[in-house]
Structure 1
Amino acid sequence: MKLVEPPSSNKSATALVLIGRNSRGQWVAQEQTGLYGGLFVSRAEAMKYALFENGHHPETIVELSRTIELDTEGRLAPVGLLYGKRPVA
């Protein structure tokens, strides 16, 4: 039997999940308020995590063209301040 962690929050489907590369080239996936997030070796793994955590809602995932650092203290910029964002296909 495979053990699987439940999504972090039932409300996470309505929040944006930001993905992009950090200054060291690692992939970051993080919910906009910092509820959940992680570092990944590939875009595919970051997307897989984001989809699992947000209840499989690809329309709430935004891939950033700018550098994004994993925020462990809940200091991410409000959505209106995100520059260079592009929707994930």
Structure 2
Amino acid sequence: MLPGVNEWQIMRGRVYGADHTDPGPRPGRAYAELVGGPLDGLLLDITDRPAREVREGVALRTEIGRYGAGGRALYVPRGDGGRRFDWAGDTP
């Protein structure tokens, strides 16, 4: 890791699930910022997500949540038109 740079700074602005060699957002896609929890600061591509998930929330796989490998972080839309999803907890 670079001196003075923490894991949070490295992850911020990256797209959840994107390849580490191409982590940034792409033109023409819609993104929501994940706020809080283990995926804080990542962007979630909601372009092709089912409308129900954009409306009600998502369970995203993560190895850095409470349950480790195989666990999921729950995020629900904030009510700002899908621009931010707030962390609601972790689940196995």
Say yes or no: TM over 0.5: no
Q: Which has the higher contact order (CA 8 A, sep 6+)?
A: 1
Task: State the structure with more CA Rg.
Answer: 2
Q: Which has the higher helix share?
A: 1
Report the TM-score when normalising by structure 2: 0.28
Q: Which has the higher strand share?
A: 2
